[in-house]
Structures are given as C-alpha cells and as structure tokens.
C-alpha cells in the first residue's frame, strides 16, 4: 500500500490551526504502523469535577487514528471517521500529561480500523477507542 | 426519580470555563427529558478539510448527554460517561450552526443511556451518538 | 438508488437454513425503508438466568439490518456488517415474543447505517443497535 | 476481588443447554484473567454467502466476556452485558474453527470491560469486541 510519510513536526504544523491545536495535542511519532501523541489535561479541556472531559479524550483519540490512516494513503486521498466507540475506564485528573497510542487493526481497501489507548502518567488505561476510517481516493485533477 | 432542575443559563455558567466553553456549546433547553444545544463550526474546531472535527462532534454530544443525566440525579450525585458510540453520517461544513438534541433511552438505577442527534442547518443528520452514563451517589457529608 | 424488492416469505426462505433460521427469526415486513421481524425467547437462545442471550439479541438485530441493506442494493451486490454497537437496556424473559424494527439512518454510496430497536411484548425497549453495512458491487460476470 | 473458580468443563456444562450450546461454543480455558473458546463455522451459523454470521461472531464473543466476568464475581452474584461494540475485519469461511480470546481491560466496582479477539485458523483477526458488563450483587437469602 502506498504510504504518505511525514514527520511529526510536519503533521503537527498541518493540524495546528484546527481542533487538534485547540485541544493542545502534541504529536511524537507518526508512522504508518503507530501514531503517538501527548495531551496535557489543562483546565479548559476538563470537566467541572476536575477530570479530562470525555469529549477531549475522544477528540485526542480521533486525531491520532485519523493521522494514522492519512499516513497510509496515497497523497491527495482523504479520510473521514465513520464510526468511533470508546470505553472510558479511569478518569484523568487535571494537570496530567496523557499519552495516546494508535495502532492499525485492519487496513482494508475502503476502510481502516485503528485502536487507540489513552494512558495516564502512572500507565493506567483511561480509555480505549476503536474507530473506522473511510478512505476516499484522490479526485482526478482536470488537465488542460 | 429525584431531579435536579436548572435553567440552561445556569448550567451554561457551570460549564463555561471547561471544555464545553472551549468548544463554544450554547445550551438552549435543559430538562430531564431533553437537552438541546447549539454549536457553530468555527475554524478552530474543524479539520484541515474545512469540516467540523469528529472530536468536536463527539464532545458536543457527550456534553449534552452528561447534562441530561445530571438533571436526573439528586443534588450532590455525580456522573461519568463509561461508553460512547458514534456513527458519523454527514460532514458539517465550516460556518454551520449545528443543533444537538439529547434524549434518554433508559433511566436505570446505576446507569442511563442517552441518544444524541447532531444536525446541520438543513436538518440532515451529521452524527448519532449513544452514550452510557454511570451515576454515583452523593458522598455522605460528615456532620459534627 | 436501485432496490431489490422481495417479499418477507421469499427473504425468509433464503435465510432459513442459516443462522437466522437457527435463531428462529420470522420476517414480517421487508421494505427498503423498514424491516420488521419477530423472535421468540426459547430456552435454547436464553441464558442460564432465563433471559434472552445478548448474542441472540445482537444476531436478531444484525439480521434485520443486513436484510434492509440487501433490499436497497442492486441484484447481485452483497453486503457485510463492518461495525455494530448495542446498548442493552432491559432483559427479555424466556417465552417472550420480541419484535425487532430496523430503519435506515444513512444510505451512502459505500456504506449504510441501520438502527434496530428490539422490544418486549409490553413495548419496553430491550436493546438499541446501530450497525454499519459495507456494500460491495456485483462482480462482473465473465462472458464468453 | 473474590473470584469464582470453575473448570472449563464445569462452565461448559452450565451453559450447554442455552444459547452457547446452540452455537456450539467449546470452552478451553476459564480463568479470571483469560477465557479461551473455540467455535466451528457450521452451515447453520453462517450466512447465505458461506461466511460465519455476524450474529454468531457477536454471540461467541459475548459468551466469553460474560464467562470471564462471572469468574471474577463472588458466588451468587450475576452479570449482564450493558454494551457491546464490534469491529468486523475479516470474514470466516464456512468450516473454519475459530478461536476466541477474552481478556479484562477494566475490573471496576460496578462494571467490567472485556476485550475479545476472534481469529481464524490462519491467525487473522476476524473481529474485535469490547463489552461492558454490569455486576449485580448476590441477593440476600431470606432465613427462617
């Protein structure tokens, strides 16, 4: 399968002005077989109870899985999440630096499945996310 | 079941400094049987492709379902999402004002299930989210 | 979209020798917009505790959603479930005749999303299932 | 946590007359940290297309995760699945002997999360299932 190699810094730059930047996601590793990122549980992505908001956890995971899919596609192709299921298993207190690791479970012709583990500093699993990405081929560019 | 009545403005105030405020969620209706909110697809909650980021969609839904659960609990009780499943069905282009409607499918003794529909301005269903909330009883307050 | 009209009796006959027949699913309505079926909670599809087994509930729903997708495809095309999420909300005691209703939430070019409600005789919702079906085009038939 | 040790043969005997027996599930290992089982893709649990039916795959996984939860509970306690999410990644052709492995991701006070991998004879992952089990305490036995 054609891949789309990009350094963490380059991918980071691409997504910085959008939602992943608002969350504060930092990409650490961006290969077609694994995407690693970090996210600090700042007050503004927490709940009233002082824990990372479930939506922020899901947004973190969704970003990593989408980046992973992107890195497996030919240049110009695009991807969109069509399904995401999350099990929340432990809360992440405000201030914690969470680590997210996303790995592919399935690389098909039209869909990919990525599994993302979000862990606390003590290694405990906060959430496990399974997401299905639909891959859309590059649109043909009209030539003169 | 004891409920916990609060106006949209009051709930809004409680969550304004956290993740729902960062996303820009506006609460419109907050009753134990339905929670309605709105969210504008601003650039900073979109993807590179100019669509609302999946993580923002899930964070919007998660907030509405958690507020709905909260409104059904006795004062002092707390809730946490333990599972969330999302089907993404249509993209929401940047600039759109999305509407989210969350209704309870199940109100049990220890868990509740809320279903949230996220719609575009043209009424099309962008995403359907089912989430399970665990309810935790108020902690006993020590008395002198 | 081309559809594939078949009566409940005809679809029933097609699936009778396979898993839906083993479960005991009876199809009542088979249109591209709704599939209705019934399933009796016999001992052999229950748990030790005398309730319909979760696997039987999911198998019932999966069958209805797959039939619905099939009815929306051109003859010769095939479909497979790629994701299924179930919320179990009330148990179905042995002996009950359950009703399952499956409706499409999304009909896309490559995937469909069907939502199935499984209800007890008293109308109570036992389970809600969301499933994503991948559609595969008919294979070209080699000609002489 | 109190556990509930039982041999595979003993658990097998308990579930033989119910749905797991109808499917044909054979339990191979039943410990509180891992449950292993096998299931042959017989015609009557397949689809018209000659592949193991998605409902049979989900029923296989649900059984293993429920057995695993049961083995972690005190005698007399009961469990029920409250949520199940499945990613289907490869079809299992008729005749194959599938292996299912279920491991706990989370053992909480009121819920457990089990992850089940269903594999073909060639080791390929057919499906990954995440399920949440609710645990219910033993009912007090009235004494004379």
Q: Which of B17, B55, B85 sits opposite A19 (nearest CB)?
A: B55
Digit-coded pLDDT (tens) for A9-40 = 999 998 888 999 999 999 999 999 999 999 99
Mutate to test the interface with B, among D114, D134, D135, D136 (most CBs of B within 10 A): D134
Q: Are C27 and C35 in contact (CB under 8 A)?
A: yes
DSSP D110: S
Residue A106 has pLDDT above 60, yes or no: yes
Please tell me the pTM assigned to this model.
Answer: 0.94
pLDDT, residue B2, reads: 61
Query: Exposed e or buried b for every residue in C15-32, given b needs 16+ CB within 10 A?
Result: beebbbebbebebeebeb
CA distances from D16 to B2, C46, D110, D113 (A): 43, 11, 28, 24
- Which residues contact residue B97 at a Cβ distance below 8 angstroms, ignoring those fewer than 6 apart? B38, B39, B40, B41, B121
Q: Is the dihedral of CA B99, B70, B46, A65 positive or negative?
A: negative
Give the distance from residue C30's alpha carbon to the nearest chain D alpha carbon, in angstroms. Answer: 17
Residue C75 pLDDT grade (very low, low, confident, very high; cuts 50, 70, 90)? confident
Q: Which residue of A has its CA nearest to D90?
A: A106
Residue C126, phi-psi category: left (phi > 0), alpha (psi -120 to 50), beta (remainder): alpha
Give the distance from residue B91's alpha carbon to the nearest chain D alpha carbon, in angstroms. Answer: 22
Query: Exposed e or buried b for every residue in C69-88, given b needs 16+ CB within 10 A?
Result: bbbbbeeebbbbbbbbbbbb
Residue A48 pLDDT grade (very low, low, confident, very high; cuts 50, 70, 90)? confident
Q: Are A60 and A18 in contact (CB under 8 A)?
A: no
Residue C24 has pLDDT above 90, yes or no: yes
Residue C135 has pLDDT above 80, yes or no: yes
Q: How many CB atoms lie within 10 A of CB D125?
A: 16
Mean pLDDT of A94-116: 97
Higher pLDDT, D98 or A48: D98
DSSP A23: H
DSSP B132: E
Q: Which residue of B has its CA nearest to D83?
A: B83
Identify the weakest region by mean pLDDT among B4-18, B43-57, D61-75. Answer: B4-18
Q: Which of C83, C85, C110 sits opposite A110 (nearest CB)?
A: C110
Give the distance from residue D143's alpha carbon to the nearest chain C alpha carbon, in angstroms. Answer: 23
Share of chain C above pLDDT 90, in %: 83
pLDDT, residue A75, reads: 84
Residue C143 has pLDDT above 80, yes or no: no
Residue D142 pLDDT grade (very low, low, confident, very high; cuts 50, 70, 90)? low
Residue C74 pLDDT grade (very low, low, confident, very high; cuts 50, 70, 90)? confident
Identify the weakest region by mean pLDDT among A78-82, B74-78, C70-74. Answer: B74-78
Mean pLDDT of B18-43: 97
Q: Are C59 and C129 in contact (CB under 8 A)?
A: no
Mean pLDDT of D131-141: 83
Residue B141 has pLDDT above 70, yes or no: no
Digit-coded pLDDT (tens) for C86-105 = 999 999 999 999 999 999 99
Contact D80 C87 (CB under 8 A): no
Contact D111 B82 (CB under 8 A): yes
Mean pLDDT of B42-62: 96
Query: H or E segment at B111?
Result: strand B111-119
Query: H or E segment at A64?
Result: helix A54-70
pLDDT, residue B29, reads: 97
Share of chain D above pLDDT 70, in %: 93
């Amino acid at each position: 399968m054609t891949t789309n190699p990009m350094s963490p810094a380059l991918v980071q730059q691409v997504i910085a002005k959008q939602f992943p930047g608002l969350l504060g996601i930092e990409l650490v590793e961006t290969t077609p077989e694994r995407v690693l990122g970090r996210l600090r549980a700042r007050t503004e992505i927490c709940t009233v109870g002082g824990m990372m908001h479930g939506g922020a956890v899901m947004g973190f995971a969704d970003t990593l899985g989408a980046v992973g899919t992107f890195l497996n596609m030919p240049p110009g192709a695009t991807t969109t999440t069509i399904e995401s299921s999350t099990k929340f298993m432990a809360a992440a207190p405000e201030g914690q630096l969470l680590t997210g690791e996303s790995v592919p479970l399935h690389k098909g012709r039209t869909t990919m499945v990525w599994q993302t583990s979000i862990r606390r500093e003590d290694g405990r699993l906060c959430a496990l996310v399974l997401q299905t990405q639909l891959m859309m081929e590059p649109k043909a560019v009209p030539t003169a």
